[in-house]
Amino acid sequence: MNGMTCKAKIAGAGDVQALAINVEAVNRPIVLSLRPERVQPNPTPGTLPNVFSAEIAEVIYLGDHVRTRLSPYGHDDFVIKLPNSEGPVQLEPGAAITSAGKRKIVGPSTRTDDGPGG
């Protein structure tokens, strides 16, 4: 931990920078919150601190936006909503995508499994 931020380890996926919210101690299980409205597909390298790869699981076109279900860190339940005006992002189920986000938020874990925050 470093003041208001910390480095969170995701099993099998590496580290992410995060805001430390109610973190009591280091090396303890946490819940990691990745805010979907802050995720950007195919970011310019070096512009955001947390870059991850995911497979596109589902794409639903809803008029002025696209709802996309991704599978970052081996979990297939992450949904982002992108405006159709974002430019030519190719979103097809089964395709790999690189995404990035600003700092994530962490807090104490109440989980007992090795889920996304563990």
pLDDT at 54: 85
Residues 44 and 10 in one domain: no
Lowest-pLDDT choice from 10-14, 73-77, 111-115: 111-115
Distance of CA 100 to the CA centre of its chain: 7
pLDDT at 97: 81
CB atoms within 10 A of CB 9: 13
Q: How confident is the model at residue 88 (pLDDT cuts 50, 70, 90)?
A: low
Residue 70: helix, strand or coil by DSSP? strand
DSSP 43: P
Q: Which of 1-15, 23-37, 38-52, 82-96 has the highest mean pLDDT?
A: 38-52
Residues 22 and 68 in one domain: no
Residues 6+ apart with CB under 8 A from 53: 72, 96, 97, 98, 99
Read off the pTM. Answer: 0.66
pLDDT at 86: 56
Q: How many separate domains does the chain show?
A: 2
Domain extent, residue 65, equals 36-100
Residue with more model confidence, 93 or 75: 93
- Which residue's entry shows tokens 């297939």? 76
Q: How confident is the model at residue 42 (pLDDT cuts 50, 70, 90)?
A: confident
Assigned token pair, 104: 């994530």
Residues 79 and 93 in one domain: yes
Residues 76 and 27 in one domain: no
Comparing CA positions, the residue from 43, 49, 24 lying closest to residue 89 is 43
CATH classification of the domain holding 58: 2.40.50.140
Residue 18 and residue 4: Cα distance in Å, rounded? Answer: 9
Beta strand extents in the chain (DSSP E only):
5-10, 14-20, 30-33, 40-41, 50-62, 65-72, 78-83, 96-101, 104-108
Average pLDDT (26-35) is 78
